[in-house]
Amino acid sequence: MAKPLYTAEAHVVGGRINGHGRSSDGALEVDLRIPRELGGQGGGTNPEELFAVGFAACFESAIATVARRTKDEAGDVAVDSKVMLLTTQERGFKLAVELDVSLPSIEDQAKAIELVRAAHRVCPYSNATRNNIEVSLTANGQPVS
């Protein structure tokens, strides 16, 4: 394994049903609950919400990295993410992700699509999920293939 640039650490007890999670530095502390949509009581967050926030934040940083490399101004990027929990034929579960990337300062649609495509090659979440889960991307409302 390569030398890590950074290591995040967390401790969770109780899982998603009635759990509590905390990062080792104490900056993140959350109650974990099953969402109402899945028959739970809600009142906390869940792994899918945490993954959605993490993926969106990471992807925005990847856009910034790519924009710096290409000398494009993309400082006003916003990423809306959806993480869907799906069932498998084997009675297991899997995820699917949609990232809707808004690049208001990039007027050229082809450039916006290329920045999102390049960010998808750079983002650690994208690299971790590639060929494992379905990830669909849009750039300024247009699909990115």
Q: CATH number, domain at 64?
A: 3.30.300.20
Kindly state the average pLDDT of the residues 9-20.
Answer: 96
Q: What is the model's pLDDT at position 24?
A: 98
138 and 74 assigned to the same domain: yes
* Pairwise CA distance, residues 54 & 47, whole Å: 10
78 and 134 assigned to the same domain: yes
132 and 75 assigned to the same domain: yes
140 and 84 assigned to the same domain: yes
pLDDT at 1 > cutoff 90: no
pLDDT tens column, 52-91: 999 999 999 999 999 999 999 998 999 999 999 999 999 9
Tell me the two tokens of residue 77.
């990027």
What percent of the chain has a predicted confidence (pLDDT) above 70? 100
pLDDT at 40 > cutoff 90: yes
Task: Please give the helix or strand (H or E) that residue 57 lies within, else none.
Answer: helix 47-70
Kindly state the average pLDDT of the residues 28-43.
Answer: 96
pLDDT tens column, 115-137: 999 999 999 999 999 999 999 99
20 and 57 assigned to the same domain: no
64 and 121 assigned to the same domain: yes
12 and 63 assigned to the same domain: no
Q: Residue 40 is part of a domain; what is its CATH number?
A: 2.20.25.10
77 and 132 assigned to the same domain: yes
Tell me the two tokens of residue 63.
């856009």
Kindly state the average pLDDT of the residues 99-107.
Answer: 97
Query: Which domain, by its residues, includes 137?
Result: 47-144
Domain count, the chain: 2
Rg of the Cα trace of the chain?
A: 17
